[in-house]
Chains A and B, each alone.
Chain A
Amino acid sequence: MRFVNRSAGRLSRHRRGPLAGLVLLLVGLVTAGGLYTALAPAQAQDSDTLAIEVEKGRELFLVGCSSCHGLNGEGVSTLDGNNLGPSLVGVGAAAVDFQVGTGRMPMAQPGAQAPRKPVTYSEEETAQLAAYVASLGPGPAIPDESDYSIEGLDDDAKEAAVVRGGQIFLTNCTACHNFEGSGGAMPRGGYAPSLDGVESKYIYEALLTGPQNMPSFSNGNLAPEEKRDVIAYLKSLEEQPGYGGFGMGGLGPVTDGVFAWLVGIGGLVAFAIWIAAHTTRSKKKKVTS
């Protein structure tokens, strides 16, 4: 027994020592403090950061966006009843991620349409702005990759998705964006931009939120899978080899006409001049008198 209880006996020997209370207090405090540092802050970070993100987003918003969209994102009306910037209440994080993430916002100047341009805000700042705008009212959230990717499907389902997406695209999108997504003209200087090389996430967000001239294809209008299929079709066009050669911008018969005249007729007339310039002479040297 002595062997077993040796240490216990040794500790208990100091149990009633004058410093025992102090040591116990110290141990208790260190343990509680250590546990607190290890566990408690992890929970506090989440709730705190959302609020902080919204706050940081608001700071950014006040500096970069409020001059057109209003100090609280309520929009600014001009005297003649137009919008300087529309209200952002309820546009959702997806709209911010699209507009700011593609560089369309902030606008460099007022105009017919905000063009895609180099991005102004970092990803972190974009997320903060999105958080702030999302806090103004319920709206579509930033989609997850699983929403717009067909990677999870098997080969047959993938092919079916592409075929279905193509038909949805040709029915709903080509009237403005052209049959291969090369873009098209809209009234008064507006335009449907080219879809070539646009990231899947942004296409999905554009469908969801309907930026600028574009109608919004809500989930009731075009189910999430249908949006995904449209994106799959567009990506399949990008991966497709150029059957038939150089596509000349994929703009339809206008560019065909330009090439028929410049390359076809231009080239053939040049050949005609060349043929006519070579007349029959017995000697190469010109006859001189």
Chain B
Amino acid sequence: MDTSKVATSNSSAATAKKPGKAGVVANWADERLGLGTAMKKNLRKVFPDHWSFMLGEIALWSFVVLLLTGVFLTFWYRPSMAEVTYMGSYDQLRGLHMSEAMASTLNISFDVRGGLLMRQMHHWAANIFIASMMIHLLRVYFTGAFRKPRELNWVIGSLLLLLGTLEGFTGYSLPDDLLSGTGIRAADGFMKSIPVVGTYMSFFLFGGEFPGDSIIPRLYTIHVLLIPGLLLGLIAAHMLLLVYHKHTQWPGPGRTEENVVGFPMLPVYAAKAGGFFFIVFGVTAMMGALLNINPVWKLGPYDPTKVTAGSQPDWYMGWPDGALRIMPGWETHLFGYTIAWNVFLPVIVLPGLMFTILLMLPFIESWITGDKRDHHLLERPRNAPTRTAIMVALMTFYGLMWAAGGNDIIAIKLNLSINQITYFLRVAVFLGPVIAFMITKRWCISLQRHDQEKLLHGYETGVIMRSPEGGYSERHLPIAPASAYTLTARDRDEMWTPEAETDENGVRRPGGRLSGLRARLNKAWYADNVQKPTAAELEEAHHHAEHEHELQAPLEGHSADGHQFDGHHAVEGETLRGSH
């Protein structure tokens, strides 16, 4: 036994290096809070890298901007409808009577240092907050990231979108300027359109007849306490579930349903996400500083006798407003009561229906497909043509309604007749989604076929071959193995087969009545989808390609222009004939 490397004396015992200052602090905290155990795992939490995974982050960071700027605004804003005389520094309104809410908003805008910047940042951040939730939602839907086990997180996300919209609406109403008041007046009308209970609800919310003097204080409490509290709780739940489920990833070599390939939280993602916060803050600050949003001083205090052209809600309420604008004026008079279908259907029923559809999308899909497996690998939109087409149809519906909400601006900016726009949209909101669905579905299937071509016959090289007979063909070359792996890393569609309506004893199955519908929907869901090739098919295609190359072998070495660049030869020193 060689003991030459063993120390012969114990003169210098091994001692721990004296910890640095940071280490001391960390140790102090760890001994009391037990953070080390909790963080050990999560600091190394792996997140996959893709730009589309950062869209939800925009929402998170703009929410932080909203909290910061919102707290600033609460220091000076007074949620009161008490009438005061404005004596601030804005000339055109000085001496007017207005609510304290409006006067304090003007005060923030003109007399509080940085106040207008904060107001504008808050408003832009709100617009961006809801927009980013929406594009995040689209990403999650189009990639199939809502599938089991993430359906509940989809539900939470949908609730966040709804609450964000309500939060935005209540905030829009607080300054008590002409737009705010018009918005509240509209909301009052919407509520009153609900048969039977509408007027009671309106009186309950306003504390009497519109406008009363309680709506602004009430909306303020909802805006700064109730909804932000709910939003915070749901955001926490949303992110805890994200950590628990682990992030989905795009398929690729080395990526499976069992693992997550990416970079750890510390140092990479902490830096990326932290940096992104500053970018979101910066973009919001730039917009707040450079772009004027909601000039309350020009709108003036709310007064029920006034209204302005261009009265629109903020963008996220634009589509129900559009539905309201294009709705025919249907009303029913019943026993001396009026049921205002022209308001009730577009603003109360339709948004409720659309939100329910949004909430149910994961469950509807899994019911139709019968897919109860866990999914951690994302699906490309083309590989789920029906799903993609459904969302594009919904987006088309949304977009057309949205356009209807800006019909007056479209009319003056494009020199169109507002009536013609309305007539067009009344038809288009029904036809457009159907057309969009069909186009998208076929488009996805063509893309699938293209993928199939690439897998079986390789990619198009752009090299044109001429056969001895004089025929022309394009040379295809096999795609890289990694690309082939990525293209084939998807499940085959599994058709759901309905169980027999009656069991072996001839007793009807519970819920069997819908199985016929379910079977038809299932068939339509997968109709014409292209399944990835089997191993045998791939094998055969490769043999075929090799055979073709053999056939072309006699041509090799013959100098046909361009032929030498077909990818099978060393091309050093080769020139095109006639080159000088």
Contact B276 A247 (CB under 8 A): no
Contact A254 B55 (CB under 8 A): no
A254 to B308, CA, bound (A): 14
Contact A179 B292 (CB under 8 A): no
Any chain B CB within 8 A of the CB of A141?
Answer: no
Any chain B CB within 8 A of the CB of A166?
Answer: yes
Which among B124, B297, B318 is the interface contact of A264 at CB below 8 angstroms? B124
Contact B96 A167 (CB under 8 A): yes
Can you list 25 pairs linking A and B with CB atoms under 8 Å apart? A163-B94, A171-B303, A174-B307, A175-B307, A175-B308, A179-B299, A180-B295, A184-B309, A184-B408, A185-B409, A187-B419, A188-B417, A189-B416, A243-B110, A245-B120, A247-B292, A248-B291, A251-B409, A252-B409, A253-B179, A257-B406, A265-B131, A268-B280, A269-B58, A275-B276
Q: Which of A110-161 contact B (CB under 8 A)?
A: 112, 159-160
Any chain B CB within 8 A of the CB of A263?
Answer: yes
Which among B109, B275, B297, B419 is the interface contact of A188 at CB below 8 angstroms? B419
Please name all residues of chain B whose beta carbon is closer than 8 Å to the beta carbon of A265 when the two chains form the complex: 58, 128, 131-132, 135
Please name all residues of chain B whose beta carbon is closer than 8 Å to the beta carbon of A259 when the two chains form the complex: 287, 291
**Chain A proximity of B274: nearest CB distance (Å):** 11
Which among B54, B291, B418 is the interface contact of A246 at CB below 8 angstroms? B291
Any chain A CB within 8 A of the CB of B311?
Answer: yes
Contact A269 B263 (CB under 8 A): no
Question: Besides the contacts A179-B298, A257-B127, A260-B131, what 19 more A-B pairs have beta carbons closer than 8 Å?
Answer: A166-B93, A170-B178, A171-B303, A180-B295, A187-B417, A189-B418, A236-B92, A243-B109, A244-B109, A245-B120, A246-B290, A251-B310, A253-B312, A253-B313, A254-B315, A263-B283, A264-B127, A268-B283, A269-B51
Any chain A CB within 8 A of the CB of B495?
Answer: no
Q: Interface with B: A39-47, A202-210, A276-284, which one?
A: A276-284
Any chain A CB within 8 A of the CB of B543?
Answer: no
**Chain A proximity of B43: nearest CB distance (Å):** 16
Interface centre among A167, A171, A186, A265 (most CB of B within 10 A): A265
Any chain B CB within 8 A of the CB of A36?
Answer: no
Which among A243, A252, A267 is the interface contact of B116 at CB below 8 angstroms? A243
**Chain B proximity of A82: nearest CB distance (Å):** 17
Any chain A CB within 8 A of the CB of B509?
Answer: no
Please name all residues of chain B whose beta carbon is closer than 8 Å to the beta carbon of A112 when the two chains form the complex: 417
Q: Which of B126-185 contact A (CB under 8 A)?
A: 127-128, 131-132, 135, 178-179
Any chain B CB within 8 A of the CB of A272?
Answer: yes
Q: Nearest CB to that of A176 among chain B residues?
A: B309
Q: A178-B310, A272-B55 are in contact. Are A185 and B127 (CB under 8 A)?
A: no
Any chain B CB within 8 A of the CB of A273?
Answer: yes
Any chain B CB within 8 A of the CB of A233?
Answer: yes
Any chain A CB within 8 A of the CB of B230?
Answer: no
Contact A162 B307 (CB under 8 A): no
**Chain A proximity of B131: nearest CB distance (Å):** 5
Please name all residues of chain B whose beta carbon is closer than 8 Å to the beta carbon of A180 when the two chains form the complex: 295, 298
Q: Nearest CB to that of A175 among chain B residues?
A: B307
Contact B95 A260 (CB under 8 A): no
Q: Which of B45-94 contact A (CB under 8 A)?
A: 49-55, 57-58, 91-94
Contact A273 B51 (CB under 8 A): yes
Which among B263, B284, B293, B297 is the interface contact of A280 at CB below 8 angstroms? B263
Q: Nearest CB to that of B273 among chain A residues?
A: A275
Any chain A CB within 8 A of the CB of B305?
Answer: yes
Contact B283 A256 (CB under 8 A): no
Any chain A CB within 8 A of the CB of B576?
Answer: no
Which among A187, A263, A276 is the interface contact of B49 at CB below 8 angstroms? A276
Chain B 98-141 interface 0/1 with A at a Cβ cutoff of 8 Å (1 = within): 00000000000110000010001001100110011001000000
Q: Nearest CB to that of B408 among chain A residues?
A: A185
Contact B312 A170 (CB under 8 A): no
Contact B291 A245 (CB under 8 A): yes
Any chain B CB within 8 A of the CB of A191?
Answer: yes
Contact B315 A248 (CB under 8 A): no
A243 to B407, CA, bound (A): 28
Any chain A CB within 8 A of the CB of B544?
Answer: no
A166 to B131, CA, bound (A): 35
Give the number of chain A interface residues (Cβ < 8 Å): 62
Contact A185 B412 (CB under 8 A): yes
Q: A246-B290, A261-B315, A272-B55 are in contact. Are A254 and B91 (CB under 8 A)?
A: no
**Chain B proximity of A280: nearest CB distance (Å):** 5
A175 to B57, CA, bound (A): 40
Any chain B CB within 8 A of the CB of A87?
Answer: no
Q: B residues within 8 Å of A by Cβ? A: 49-55, 57-58, 91-96, 109-110, 116, 120, 123-124, 127-128, 131-132, 135, 178-179, 263, 268, 272, 275-276, 279-280, 283-284, 287, 289-295, 297-300, 303, 305-315, 318, 405-409, 411-412, 415-420
Please name all residues of chain B whose beta carbon is closer than 8 Å to the beta carbon of A271 when the two chains form the complex: 276, 279, 283
**Chain A proximity of B115: nearest CB distance (Å):** 11
Contact A243 B309 (CB under 8 A): no
Which among A162, A174, A242 is the interface contact of B306 at CB below 8 angstroms? A174
Contact A244 B412 (CB under 8 A): no
Interface centre among B131, B295, B299, B412 (most CB of A within 10 A): B412
Please name all residues of chain B whose beta carbon is closer than 8 Å to the beta carbon of A272 when the two chains form the complex: 51-52, 54-55, 57-58, 276
Contact A246 B58 (CB under 8 A): no
Interface centre among B91, B92, B95 (most CB of A within 10 A): B92
A183 to B94, CA, bound (A): 25
Any chain B CB within 8 A of the CB of A182?
Answer: yes
Chain A 178-222 interface 0/1 with B at a Cβ cutoff of 8 Å (1 = within): 111011111111011000000000000000000000000000000
Please name all residues of chain B whose beta carbon is closer than 8 Å to the beta carbon of A254 when the two chains form the complex: 310, 312, 315, 318, 405-406, 409
Q: A175-B309, A183-B309, A244-B295 are in contact. Are A264 and B91 (CB under 8 A)?
A: no
Any chain B CB within 8 A of the CB of A89?
Answer: no
Which among B120, B300, B315, B412 is the interface contact of A191 at CB below 8 angstroms? B412
Any chain B CB within 8 A of the CB of A177?
Answer: yes
Any chain B CB within 8 A of the CB of A60?
Answer: no
Contact A277 B283 (CB under 8 A): no
**Chain B proximity of A148: nearest CB distance (Å):** 18
Q: A175-B309, A268-B279 are in contact. Are A184 and B92 (CB under 8 A)?
A: no
Please name all residues of chain A whose beta carbon is closer than 8 Å to the beta carbon of B292 when the two chains form the complex: 242-248
Contact A275 B51 (CB under 8 A): yes
A-B pairs with the 7 shortest C-beta distances? A184-B309, A257-B315, A252-B310, A260-B127, A244-B292, A189-B417, A185-B408
Please name all residues of chain A whose beta carbon is closer than 8 Å to the beta carbon of B123 when the two chains form the complex: 256
**Chain A proximity of B564: nearest CB distance (Å):** 25
Contact A268 B411 (CB under 8 A): no
Contact B94 A179 (CB under 8 A): no
Please name all residues of chain B whose beta carbon is closer than 8 Å to the beta carbon of A237 when the two chains form the complex: 92, 298
Contact A174 B312 (CB under 8 A): no
Q: A184-B309, A248-B292, A256-B127 are in contact. Are A263 and B287 (CB under 8 A)?
A: yes
A109 to B315, CA, bound (A): 37
Contact A191 B295 (CB under 8 A): no
A275 to B270, CA, bound (A): 12
Contact A170 B310 (CB under 8 A): no
